[in-house]
Amino acid sequence: MKRRYALLVLCALVALAVLWWRGQKPQTVKRSRMIMGTVVEVTASGRDGLMLHEQIEAAFSEMERLERLLSPHIETSEVAQLATSRDLQVSDETRTVIAIGLEVAQKSDGAFDMSLGRLVEAWDVTAVQPRLPSADEIREALKGIGPEAIRLDGNRVIKREASLQPEFGGVAKGYAVEAGAKLLRKAAIDAGAVNAGGDMALVGRPEQREWRIGIRHPREADQLLGTLVVPGGAVATSGDYERFFEQNGERFHHLFDPRNGYPARGCQSVTVWTTNAAYADALATAAFVLGPTAGLELLENWPQTEALLVAADGTIFMTGGMEERIEWP
Ligand code: ADP
Ligand code: MG
């Protein structure tokens, strides 16, 4: 008798919980915060608003934790320490960022290069009054760089020369975005996204079943080139239109060809869709530097990856599976 009573109470509780749950309206919470010098926007959809806020907060905290390891502007970060030491024992997170970067460096024949920090400094394209560095300055900045200039031995990072300045800006943000998304994936939310400017990771499925991501036109500031329609994954865009200066009608942007030390000339933008935002970030930069032909080949051969490249003259190149995912305006 007692047992039957307990069962009844349990059934009633379950029914109440279901009723409460169904009474909660699906909602989307969106918040943004400045992390790694970028406005990071996190969205989460579900029925429990309080929980959505908590999960978004957790994702931000995780990304801020990574910022404290990876930001060159935070004195105590591992990346800042690496700038002033020959070798350094680092966390698993920093090691993973570097390992992903090294993989992309290798497969892109050195187009992606995490040792060109001095070159980035020499150009300083976002300075208030940027200027062209001299040929000598560029030559000097390129000394000793290359895909073997920074090595990993377990969690030990070894620079070939103490004077080398590491630059992880082409992969660290993507890694942080992916880490934020990983937390959201573990949470009981319907859908979510982490978006740091050009780097984005998707979680779950939105109400309309597919994600629609606008690809900016690289030359018409408020126009879309097209809309990428995907079930999930990560999307990154590298372009020459966000951080650049112009001199005598020529555009000097922030993605450098390590072979000559000048901004890469082959592309206006590259958009990569793949499974992981760290790879998407680094691959977009790598393909941009390689230019449309070699860049397309790199991305065509990368597993589970599709891409759209806009060449310097505006011609569009796409991997085999990309065409069917783009809606044109
Ligand atoms: P954004 O940061 O504007 O989104 P990207 O993600 O493509 O653009 O990465 C730009 C970062 O990559 C910059 O911090 C820049 O210093 C760095 N970088 C520039 N050229 C290269 C290169 N050839 N290989 C690796 N990183 C690079
Ligand atoms: Mg990138």
Residue 306 CB-half CA count within 13 A: 13
Residue pair 176/63 in contact by the 8 Å Cβ criterion: yes
The answer, yes or no, to whether any atom of ligand 1 lies below 6 A from the CB of 255, is yes
The answer, yes or no, to whether any atom of ligand 1 lies below 6 A from the CB of 104, is no
Report every protein residue that has its C-beta within 5 angstroms of ion ligand 2: 170, 238, 281, 284-285
Q: Encode pLDDT of 255-292 as tens digits.
A: 999 999 999 999 999 999 999 999 999 999 999 999 99
The answer, yes or no, to whether any atom of ligand 1 lies below 6 A from the CB of 274, is no
The answer, yes or no, to whether any atom of ligand 1 lies below 6 A from the CB of 263, is no
Residue pair 255/238 in contact by the 8 Å Cβ criterion: yes
pLDDT at position 47 is: 92
Characterize the bridge pairing of strands 250-253 and 256-257. Answer: unpaired
Among protein residues, the one with the nearest Cα to ligand 1's atom 19 is 255
Within the chain, which residues score under 50 in pLDDT? none
Q: Which of 285, 294, 328, 292 is nearest to 313 (CA)?
A: 292
Backbone Cα Rg of the chain: 23
Distance CA 308, CA 326 (A): 9
Q: Ligand 1: distance of its center to the CA of 217 in Å? A: 19
Which of 126, 178, 285 best tests ligand 1's pocket when mutated (most atoms within 8 Å of CB)?
285
pLDDT at position 1 is: 61
pLDDT at position 10 is: 85
Residue pair 245/237 in contact by the 8 Å Cβ criterion: no
Residue pair 130/308 in contact by the 8 Å Cβ criterion: no
pLDDT at position 23 is: 66
